[in-house]
Structure 1
């Protein structure tokens, strides 16, 4: 809007007085409205959690840039607190990435620290957010700082091997300021309704690989004589992407005689035993034969037939489990 100076000059005294008052009030408003001048805003970011499997992923990080205004005459000290809302897929504890056809979720956490001690909350629990301070010197241009975000895919997930990503993760920056070196309180920060917002993209690739997570021991207990058979069972836990074809093999152990599996004690005596695929113990688990399995948990059934014990002691054997896929 342009102002014609000669037109203002021709005003009568009363109008000129009112115009000056109006200009003075406008000037005062600009000087004493720091809520608009002193503020911070947050940039967007991408956090790649790399390759994941049933053991989770390594810890990854990214930097989020925060920029703040300066004041022409005095330093400004900001306190800023970051919360993050995961809205698509929804849920903040745990958070999820998604892959489609079929729709599958891969869970992860976000942290303030590399040790993964402090999880980043959503805005509904913003009072639990970790905060940091940042001082901008007088008279300089807008200044920037970094907030580091850490993330990790959670262990124990078995999902299809493919890429996962988020649709909507909202960074919410709460901030407050004081002139000079005084630091605002957390209460001041969260009372301020002027928040900075931007987007965070999180992604990961679930690899097409398998692993044997664990194999429980088979313990037949303690006996004085082996006049009757003993029975036991163990469990092999696998971790493969959903839809993977798996085969498992057991060897004969380290004490076998021919095809007969045996346990041995410290003085060289043996106790025979057998391993089975079924609970009725009718299907022998042949050594070094790969059997197809369709479950990530594979039971192994065992039996010690009645036999003569030649010496006392602790008897044991070690079986090697091999997984192919």
Structure 2
């Protein structure tokens, strides 16, 4: 019996050993899980809408990307996080593009994303993440899943003449790279950018390119300074339009505010006049008839001016104002 009793104690001791080992293993796993869980972050999706835009581009718009991070039950956590955006469909980084399926072939509308309202820091893609801007987020102990915001700005680039319609992105990926430390000392930007920790979601960007034409500019025609007009003087200006691709448009010029019938004239402060003419071509053979609509294939329209030889009745500055009318 003593032998049997001794064996029973050995078996009982082994059972306790296994139990203690199992409990310790369970505790280690639990602690590991809690640590990993406390240092995780996730982000919301975003929507950046430019509204109605045209060839002059857009105003600067913004959106907030919401970030949540776990807290630890007993100590604070310092996070460093860096946001990058991958434009997958349509592809591109600088500039990025939206696409419209309202016409064929599908046109692209270019824009850029920025970290700041002054538009000095562009948001890069993952392939160029070393230029990303990072920010810090301090999480108190036992505070649940607190929230912080990352603001992002966008602007449609000016000078684009594309088809009118609805433009959007099909696939854009938000990626948050982050690192963390227990306590109040933040990781460096480099640590966050090199970290394997990341959170992902999607961003939708859209705009409506309006079906409207604009007169962007009309430069002055300055004939300079003369003592007398014994020979003709020539000079030119430019009318710059911005119309969506496929839009039919026409341009007309009136005869000015000093005209005598159809004769365009400049006037000085003494009430003296100088005759002049406006032409459509450099050889000055095709007149711009007053209040007559003309069609052009180019949205940069030259205007050629000429002052014929004539007497100058009084000194002073001679000027006239021509009204440009765009019909579409």
What's the TM-score once normalised by structure 2's chain length?
0.90
Gaps of 5+ in 1: 1-9
Q: Does the aligned pair in 2 maintain the 1:211–1:240 contact within 8 Å?
A: yes
Count of matched residue positions in the alignment of Structure 1 and Structure 2: 316
SS in structure 2 at match of 1:79 = strand
Query: In the alignment, does 2:83 pair up with 1:82?
Result: yes
**What residue number does 2:5 align with?**
none
Matches within 5 A, 1:243-258: 243-258=246-261
Gaps of 5+ in 2: 1-9
Q: What is the CA distance between 1:202 and its match in structure 2?
A: 0.3
SS in structure 2 at match of 1:225 = coil
Distance (whole Å) between structure 2 residues aligned to residue 27 and residue 198 of structure 1: 34
**What residue number does 2:28 align with?**
28
Change (3 A) 1:11 1:156: farther
Aligned equivalent of 2:221, options 218, 223, 243: 218
Distance (whole Å) between structure 1 residues aligned to residue 245 and residue 229 of structure 2: 44
What's the TM-score once normalised by structure 1's chain length?
0.91
Change (3 A) 1:231 1:11: farther
Q: What is the CA distance between 1:36 and its match in structure 2?
A: 4.6
Deviates more, 1:122-131 or 1:61-70: 122-131
Q: What is the CA distance between 1:27 and its match in structure 2?
A: 2.3
**What residue number does 1:93 align with?**
94
Query: In the alignment, does 2:67 pair up with 1:66?
Result: yes
Distance (whole Å) between structure 1 residues aligned to residue 11 and residue 113 of structure 2: 65
Query: In the alignment, does 2:232 pair up with 1:234?
Result: no
**What residue number does 1:6 align with?**
none
Q: What is the CA distance between 1:181 and its match in structure 2?
A: 1.9
Q: Does the aligned pair in 2 maintain the 1:245–1:294 contact within 8 Å?
A: no
**What residue number does 1:154 align with?**
157
Q: What is the CA distance between 1:78 and its match in structure 2?
A: 1.3
Q: What is the CA distance between 1:162 and its match in structure 2?
A: 0.2
Q: Deviations over 1:278-307 (max 9, x none)?
A: 222222211112222232111111111111
SS in structure 1 at match of 2:295 = strand
Query: In the alignment, does 2:315 pair up with 1:312?
Result: yes
Distance (whole Å) between structure 1 residues aligned to residue 38 and residue 12 of structure 2: 36
**What residue number does 1:144 align with?**
147
Q: Cα RMSD over matched residues?
A: 2.0
Change (3 A) 1:11 1:134: farther
Distance (whole Å) between structure 2 residues aligned to residue 61 and residue 225 of structure 1: 59
Q: What is the CA distance between 1:50 and its match in structure 2?
A: 0.6
Q: Does the aligned pair in 1 maintain the 2:37–2:70 contact within 8 Å?
A: no
Q: What is the CA distance between 1:189 and its match in structure 2?
A: 0.9
Deviates more, 1:306-315 or 1:21-30: 21-30
Q: Deviations over 1:129-171 (max 9, x none)?
A: 2222222222232222222222111111110000000112111
Aligned equivalent of 1:199, options 198, 202, 219: 202
Q: Does the aligned pair in 2 maintain the 1:39–1:176 contact within 8 Å?
A: no
